[in-house]
Chain A
Amino acid sequence: MELYRSHVLVCGGTGCSSSGSAKLIERFEDQLKEKGLDKEVKVVRTGCFGLCEAGPVVIVYPEGTFYSRVKVEDVDEIVSEHLLKGRKVQHLVYVDHKTHESSVQKSLSEIGFYKQQERVALRNCGVIDPENIDEYIAFDGYRALAKALTEMTPEQVIQEVLDSGLRGRGGAGFPTGKKWQFARASKAEHKYFVCNADEGDPGAFMDRSLLEGDPHAILEAMAIGGYAIGADEGWIYVRAEYPIAVKRLEKAIEQAHEYGLLGKNIFGTDFSFDIHIRLGAGAFVCGEETALMASIEGKRGEPRPKPPFPAVKGLFESPTNINNVETLGNIAQIILKGADWFKSIGIPTSTGTKVFALGGKINNTGLVEVPMGVKLRTIIEDIGGGIPNGKKFKAVQTGGPSGGCIPASLLDISVDYDSLTSVGAMMGSGGMIVMDEDNCMVDIARFFLDFTVDESCGKCTPCRIGTRRMLEILERITQGKGEEGDIEKLETLAENIKSSALCGLGQTAPNPVLSTIKFFRDEYEAHIKEKRCPAHHCQALLNYEITDACRGCTACARKCPVNAISGTVKQKHVIDTQKCIKCGNCMATCKFGAIIKK
């Protein structure tokens, strides 16, 4: 391996790629060549750094200087100042939202966003070049596989995972070691080990980042798992919407084959293992394991009743084990460092760490990994940096369309499987969407039901028809046509669907409605009884009014498509609420902030 005096790490995750990080890399390489530094400084495209808000992100090592929102035209300055003359480019260095401190003198781990994080699954993301197997190997890659194959029996591998207390990171939290035990116990000629990378929860992108940032870690874990349960073939079912992840997985599989880390007689043992990729085609329900297997088999992705469980009869009728991407991201570390080390992180019932995708109304949007049992407040306020624009925090939604909303009064809750479930939310795959006072909770419930109705596969009646009835009621309420008794109707429907739907999608679909009713019943009541949306979000329930701040400039009257605004020049104008169609054009036009929503 060649040695360089400096490394320029450019984030190649989805967020930063979308804001042009590929062009940055090109420019860096051109500039370095021009200055004759290309033998001294290496440019590396890494996986996600996590702090998407600051993207595109560039880190220069050995100093660990963190440059944020870098533009192509900034590259020349970084090269000529920092890399050539050794002077950090002060005005491009990341500034903490909360403390307004520049991170010029700080290393990465001292920045507020990173300080309270602990990276296990994401340990290599943003550190190595994901398309280079040598870099993965240099960071202990494939050592766990070697250890498992040459020093441990399959039973010992399973015992280690069982002892670690690792639970499924896809949402349900089933103990991973138990799953492996069941699959091991099934006797069959062929068994399959499947990686569920059909990350469908809106607002969740941890699996995507892990696949893009450290694909070999997933391959290694699958091989270890295959050895443990006695499988000879692995499948990765990944969303077609993730082209970068697919490309890197394909490349990683090819490289692992070249090095003999996949294929026949791995490490000279009897164990042979191969991995195939299958692309999804846009169906949320395929994240459910039986639906996912049907989809790999090339059929409609419809779930089927369990039992038989996949461990007994799964893919192509053979015993199958299915694990989520992030779950697998922990395996190699558990084998290398042992169950006791893993258990030392987190709390006894939820061990290890969890990756969350922070999004919505929060300053530091991005990917965070924290020990289980951390307070929700720590994630929102310290790591997330609070709510932008001085707005008030209202709720955080976890678990996507299967989860629930947690209100401000419960911000001190411990983030672990059981605590989140106890308040009607759930861990889910790790999406964490923050909402402020402008978000209407009835509308959020409607949004999720709209999603479920669209994604319901239609096989069972409670989900196909029940969720549609719930959506109709919610639409009525948000349009100001809610009736007395609607809340109770929603609750009855919800309970019935939960207890009778065929798969997890239907059984959890009512959760967003139930949890918003539980914590924000007053908002539902305001919509139904007073025909008022407290968050001023639901268009049909809004009234626009012109205040005394009006200067009579006539701009709003000219912009109104239905001529509902009248008044003479330099006099306060008035909106005719009967004519008004509530399009909001006037409010957007007014330069004096004289139009308000009521």
Chain B
Amino acid sequence: MPDNKEKYAKLQAAIEKHKGERGAVMPVLQEAMTIFGYVPQDVQEMIADGLGVTLSEVYGVSTFYSQFSLEPKGEHIIGVCLGTACYVKGSQKILDKLSEELKIEPGRTTADGLFSLNATRCLGACGLAPVMMIGEEVYGRLTPDQVPGILDKYRTAQ
């Protein structure tokens, strides 16, 4: 696909940019995540070859940090904050409601590829607890019954 070709060219450029830099594996993986949305094996192989490190080193790093995903993610990534402040204010119930509405467990993606549901670490917006993010958008002071309405916004936008 021409689309993909462009992505790989972007990755190649990112590799060139960081080549020779100390500790380049992480920044390149981070750029790969932005380009592809995940880091499949061939991308990791390309990074390893390009930076002159072993594939096991790249794989070791990509599986250590929660930000790197080996599987494709949904179009809208939902992150429900399970930091302490949100948890004591009932964010587990928000997560349960989303799980029920989307019919997926946290960490999974819906069959139509529209949503990925994640329980995330503290988002640092504790003043608005309980909080969730969909993409870049932050939703604060949530109650479980607001969940279906918010999801509908994204569904109808399709």
Closest to B83 in A: A202
4 additional A-B pairs beyond A202-B87, A433-B88, beta carbons within 8 Å, are A204-B124, A298-B24, A300-B60, A357-B126
B30 contacts the other chain (CB 8 A)? yes
Contact A316 B124 (CB under 8 A): no
Q: Is B25's CB within 8 Å of the partner chain A?
A: yes
Taken together as a complex, chains A and B put the C-alpha atoms of A447 and B65 apart, in Å, by: 21
Closest 10 CB pairs of A and B: A52-B127, A298-B23, A359-B85, A202-B83, A281-B65, A18-B138, A282-B66, A205-B124, A359-B126, A203-B84
Cβ-defined partner of A360 (8 Å) among B22, B64, B129:
B129
Does A439 lie within 8 Å of B125, measured CB to CB?
no
Query: How far apart are B53's CB and chain A's nearest CB, in angstroms?
Result: 9
> Provided the pairs A241-B121, A278-B23, A284-B121 are in contact, do residues A300 and B61 lie with their beta carbons within 8 angstroms?
yes
- Chain B's nearest CB lies how many Å from the CB of A456? 12
Q: Does B68 sit within 8 A of A, measured CB to CB? A: yes
User: Is B122 in the interface zone, CB < 8 Å from A?
Assistant: yes
Taking Cβ atoms with an 8 Å cutoff, the residues of A that contact B are 14-15, 17-19, 52-53, 55, 199-205, 208, 240-242, 278-284, 295-302, 316, 357, 359-361, 365-366, 397, 400, 431, 433-435, 439, 444, 447-448, 457
Decide if B127 touches A55 in the complex (CB within 8 Å). Answer: yes
A-B contact pairs, 11 of them (CB 8 A): A15-B125, A15-B127, A18-B140, A204-B122, A279-B27, A279-B30, A281-B29, A283-B65, A296-B23, A433-B85, A447-B84
B89 within 8 A of A: yes
CB distance from B89 to the nearest CB of A (A): 7
The answer to whether A360 and B85 have CB atoms under 8 Å apart is yes
With contact pairs A297-B22, A297-B23, A316-B22 given, residues A14 and B124 touching in the complex (Cβ less than 8 Å): yes
- Write the nearest CB–CB distance from A396 to chain B, whole angstroms: 11
Q: Does B4 contact A (CB under 8 A)?
A: no
Q: CB-CB < 8 A to A242: which residues of B? A: 124
Interface string of B127-151 (1 = CB under 8 A from A): 1110100000010100000000000
Q: Determine if B46 is an interface residue (Cβ-Cβ < 8 Å).
A: no
Report the bound CA distance from A220 to B109 in whole Å: 44
B67 at interface by CB-CB < 8 Å: yes
Shortest CB-to-CB span from B84 to chain A, Å, is 4
Cα separation A357 to B121 with both chains bound (whole Å): 16
B70 touches A (CB below 8 Å):
no
User: Nearest chain B CB to A542's CB is how many angstroms away?
Assistant: 14
Inter-chain contacts of A400 with B (CB < 8 A):
84
Check if B13 is an interface residue, CB within 8 A of chain A.
no
Contact with A along B22-46 (1 / 0, CB 8 A): 1111110110000000000000000
Residues of A within 8 A of B125 (CB): 14-15, 18, 52, 205
Q: Which residue of B lies closest to A436 (CB)?
A: B88
A435 to B126, CA, bound (A): 14
* Nearest residue, chain B, Cβ from A294: B23
Q: How far is the CA of A55 from the CA of B27 in the complex (A)?
A: 34
A residues near B85, Cβ cutoff 8 Å: 202-203, 357, 359-360, 365, 431, 433
Q: How far is the CA of A360 from the CA of B57 in the complex (A)?
A: 41
In the bound complex, residues from chain A placing their C-beta under 8 Å from that of B89 are 360-361
Q: How close is B136's CB to chain A, nearest CB, in angstroms?
A: 9
A297–B24 alpha-carbon span in the complex (Å): 8
The interface residues of chain B lying within 8 Å CB-to-CB of A14 are 123-125
| Bound-state Cα–Cα, A55 to B126, Å | 12
Chain A hits for B30, CB < 8 A: 240, 279, 281
CA distance A97 to B138 in the complex (A): 25
**In the complex, which residues of chain A have a beta carbon less than 8 angstroms from the beta carbon of B64?**
283, 300-302, 457
* Size class of the contact patch on chain B: 35 or more
Question: B121–A202 contact, CB under 8 A?
Answer: yes
Q: Could you say which of B30, B121, B138 has the most chain A C-beta atoms within 10 Å of its C-beta?
A: B121
**Shortest Cβ gap from B39 to chain A (Å):** 11
B123 touches A241 (CB 8 A): yes
How far in angstroms is the closest Cβ of chain A from B18? 9
A282 touches B122 (CB 8 A): no
In the complex, residue of chain B having the shortest beta-carbon distance to the beta carbon of A204:
B122
* A240, B67: Cβ atoms closer than 8 Å: yes
CA–CA, A300 and B127, complex, Å: 33
Known contacts A240-B67, A297-B23, A300-B61; decide if A205 and B88 are in contact (CB<8 Å). Answer: no
Chain A CB within 10 A, most for which of B23, B66, B82: B23
How many angstroms between the C-alpha atoms of A400 and B88 in the bound complex?
13
Which residues of chain B from 63 to 88 have any CB-CB distance to chain A below 8 Å in the complex? 64-68, 82-85, 87-88
Closest to B29 in A: A281
A540 CB to nearest chain B CB (Å): 14
Which residues from chain A contact B25 at a C-beta distance below 8 Å? 298-299
With A203-B122, A298-B61: A281-B68 Cβ-Cβ less than 8 Å: yes
Most buried by A among B22, B25, B84: B84
Least Cβ–Cβ distance between B94 and chain A, in angstroms: 14
Establish whether residues A52 and B67, one from each chain, have CB atoms under 8 Å apart when the complex forms: no
| Residues of A with C-beta under 8 A to B68 | 281
Name the one of A205, A240, A301 contacting B122, with C-beta atoms under 8 angstroms. A205
Query: In the complex the two chains form, what is the Cα distance from A394 to B23 in whole Å?
Result: 46
Q: Name A365's contact: one of B27, B82, B126 (CB within 8 Å).
A: B126
A361 touches B88 (CB 8 A): yes
CB–CB A202/B84 < 8 A:
yes
Instruction: State in angstroms the CA–CA spacing of A431 and B66 once bound together.
Output: 23
Query: When chains A and B are docked, how far (Å) is the Cα of A280 from the Cα of B66?
Result: 10
Q: How far is the CB of A525 from chain B (nearest CB, A)?
A: 22
- CB-CB under 8 A from A205, the residues of chain B are 122, 124-126
On chain B, the residues within 8 Å of A281 by CB distance are 26, 29-30, 65-68
Q: How far is the CB of B29 from chain A (nearest CB, A)?
A: 7
B131 and A18 form a contact (CB under 8 A): yes
Q: Which residues of A contact B84 (CB under 8 A)?
A: 202-203, 359-360, 397, 400, 431, 433, 447-448
A205 to B125 alpha-carbon distance, docked (Å): 8
Neighbouring A residues of B122 by C-beta, 8 Å: 200-205
Chain B, Cβ-Cβ closest to A17: B138
- Complex Cα gap A334–B91 (Å): 41
* Smallest Cβ-Cβ distance to A300: which chain B residue: B64
Residue of A nearest to B90 (CB): A438
Cβ-defined contact, B65 with A19, below 8 A: no
- Give A299 to B23 CA distance when docked, in angstroms: 7
Find B61's partner among A240, A299, A316, A448 (CB 8 Å cutoff). A299
Indicate if the CB atoms of B121 and A282 lie closer than 8 Å. yes
Instruction: Find A283's partner among B66, B123, B128 (CB 8 Å cutoff).
Output: B66
Residue of A19, A55, A200 ringed by the most chain B CB atoms within 10 A: A19
B88 and A19 contacting across the interface, CB-CB below 8 Å? no
Check if A203 sits within 8 Å of B83, measured CB to CB. Answer: yes
**Residues of the A chain whose Cβ atoms lie less than 8 Å from the Cβ of B22:** 297-298, 316
Asked if B83 and A360 make an inter-chain contact with CB atoms under 8 angstroms apart, the answer reads: no
A295 contacts across to B, CB distance below 8 A: 26
Q: A159–B31 Cα gap in the complex (Å)?
A: 43
